[in-house]
Amino acid sequence: MEIVFRSDTGKKRKNNQDFAGYFINKKNIRLAILCDGMGGHRGGDVASEMAVSHLGHTWEESDVQDAEQITQWMLTRISRENKRILEKSRKFFDLEGMGTTLVAAAVVDQEFVIANIGDSRAYHYTGGRLYQVTEDHSLVNELVKSGEISSEDAENHPRKNVLTRSLGVTEEIDIDVTILPALPNDQMLLCSDGLTNMVEDEDINEVLSIQKSSEEKVETLVTMANERGGYDNITIMLVQITAERGDNNGNG
């Protein structure tokens, strides 16, 4: 298994409020985490780095080793991290209102375990096709689901960035966890909305289908997002399952 990631400030922002990293636990299982921070004068970057760094350290100390254990770990630990970020935002005036999205992926026993809150996405590329795994926790997505606006209207909606769920903003949170098969040559893409607001799913599908290295694919997607405006920070993580079964937990 191979994990590659890149974070880029983009063309319009001065600061990068995204943060990402991957970590290995005591059972040699990898966890990729990506967060897109928001709020406050400097709160967004603090919230995203807090979530990734603290969850990553906690993962490294864990010995969970199957999909059920990982699911429970995600639900418990992400909820605790929510409270940590909320407490810190209440403690410091310049961090008031900070929060972050989160999307995370682990691979174990030929399965992906995906957790998300907010509008950072996970995409599964399998069998030559791209599938969006996560659901955006946003006001616009709720309007689309209720039939009040179309998917096309959602693209340029003035309240597109309003989230209905995020980490560190409310006392209680609802975390989505999804388990999917992880087949040889599958790819799992985690990304902030700096990519998906600029690059269509069809174009992401095309890039992932090309026989290039993971590094080249990630670099291509970052370049595309910047060429099309680069209005936000762009962070991309690509998890590649190698051709040999049984390598999902090993070093890439």
Q: List, for residues 88-114, the tens digit of each pLDDT value.
A: 999 998 899 999 999 999 999 999 999
CA max distance for the chain: 51
Dihedral of alpha carbons 46, 239, 202, 150, sign: negative
Tell me, yes or no, whether 208 lies in a domain: no
Tell me, yes or no, whether 233 lies in a domain: no
Residue with tokens 């928001």: 38
Instruction: Give the span between the Cα atoms of 50 and 26, in whole angstroms.
Output: 22
Count CB-CB contacts under 10 A for residue 125.
Answer: 21
* 164-217 pLDDT, tens digit each: 999 999 999 999 999 999 999 999 999 999 999 999 999 999 999 999 999 999
Tell me, yes or no, whether 239 lies in a domain: no
- CATH number of the domain to which 54 belongs: 3.60.40.10
Domain hosting residue 80, numbered range = 13-192
Number of structural domains in the chain: 1
CB 119 within 8 A of CB 194: no
CB 34 within 8 A of CB 16: no
pLDDT at 154 over 90: no
Model confidence pTM above 0.85:
yes
Q: What is the DSSP letter of 93?
A: G
